[in-house]
Chain A
Amino acid sequence: MRRARGFTLVELAVAGLLAAVVASMAAMLFVPAVRMWEQAQTTFTVAGDQLELRRSFVDDVHRAVSGRVLRGELMLRRSDGRWACYRFAAGRLERAEASRGCARSTYLPLTTQEGYDGRFEVQGTGVRMRFTRTPSGFPLPEVYAVTRAATSLR
């Protein structure tokens, strides 16, 4: 019977080369696949964020009797006497609600994804929220709403 022997250097090199080829093929297939998956997930999440923040923002503006932007924060006083405030902080859009001015500690994130930035504008009866940065990199449409509770927000 022939004695068992170890692998030769050539056999090991060929096996290593084949393994490298198979691994690189798998990587070429699956790395883009994972990226596509992550991108799709982000897009869905941003779409969900957009719906949620739009609902909240439009509802607050509809009920606003006055509004102003101070140091990048939007402060709306509503017809029920409460304040609703919005700001972009740490890559998220945050909202606070209080009976007096909004304290920094009362802000809660409205968006689940990080990577947002933007600004607010108050013009006549309307309030605009514009996004200058989004997590997906795709531009997001502005959110515009007009108050139902006052003839001017100034």
Chain B
Amino acid sequence: MRAARGFTLVEVTVALLLLALSGAAVIAALLGVQGSAREARKLGVQLALLENAAERVRELPGPLSGERSCPGVRSADYPELGRFRCVVRPLAGTARAVQVLLLDDRDRILAVTVGVTR
């Protein structure tokens, strides 16, 4: 009968490699979850910004004559959003309704809601 022997260097290396690969797979999956959480937080902040801006628009005397920046919105209060612009535009054909737009640094629309002036 052949005597029992220990693991060879190749076997130990393969085992360690498998451990490292499975660990890397777990980390990659968790990075995905973390990315989703970050995105969810960012969307939540965008929603909060638009809702706060729409509420503040209610304090503005209407109707608006043209586009203006959102009242009471300071970019320092929303650091997660990076560089952005929030503007209020009158909605054509209405007296008090306005669009509240969140724009990125290239003036692309990120999110929009509708508000009403006082």
Given contacts A40-B37, A125-B59, A138-B41, contact A29 B23 (CB under 8 A): yes
Number of interface residues of B (CB under 8 A): 33
Q: Out of A22, A126, A139, which one reaches B19, CB within 8 Å?
A: A22
In the bound complex, CA of A33 to CA of B34 (Å): 10
In the bound complex, CA of A26 to CA of B34 (Å): 21
Say whether B23 contacts A26, CB under 8 Å. Answer: yes
Interface residues on A, range: 20 to 34
**Across the interface, which residues of A come within 8 angstroms of B56, CB to CB?**
126, 144, 146
In the bound complex, CA of A107 to CA of B113 (Å): 33
Say whether B34 contacts A39, CB under 8 Å. Answer: yes
**Across the interface, which residues of A come within 8 angstroms of B79, CB to CB?**
139
In the bound complex, CA of A144 to CA of B48 (Å): 9
Minimum Cβ distance to chain A for residue B92 (Å): 24
Tell yes or no: A32 within 8 A of B by CB. Answer: yes
In the bound complex, CA of A51 to CA of B46 (Å): 12
Q: B-side binding surface: helix, strand, loop or mixed? A: helix
For residues 73 through 88 of chain B, which have their beta carbon under 8 Å from a beta carbon of chain A?
Answer: 77-80
**Across the interface, which residues of B come within 8 angstroms of A138, CB to CB?**
41, 80
Q: Mark A21-56, 1 if CB is under 8 A from B, else 0.
A: 010011001101100110110011011001100100
Q: Mark A113-140, 1 if CB is under 8 A from B, else 0.
A: 0000000000011100000000000111
Tell yes or no: B95 within 8 A of A by CB. Answer: no
Say whether B48 contacts A54, CB under 8 Å. Answer: yes
For residues 4 through 57 of chain B, which have their beta carbon under 8 Å from a beta carbon of chain A?
Answer: 12, 16, 19-20, 23-24, 26-27, 30-31, 33-34, 36-38, 40-41, 44-45, 48-49, 51-52, 55-56
Write the residues of chain B forming the contact surface with A, with a CB cutoff of 8 angstroms. 3, 12, 16, 19-20, 23-24, 26-27, 30-31, 33-34, 36-38, 40-41, 44-45, 48-49, 51-52, 55-56, 58-59, 72, 77-80
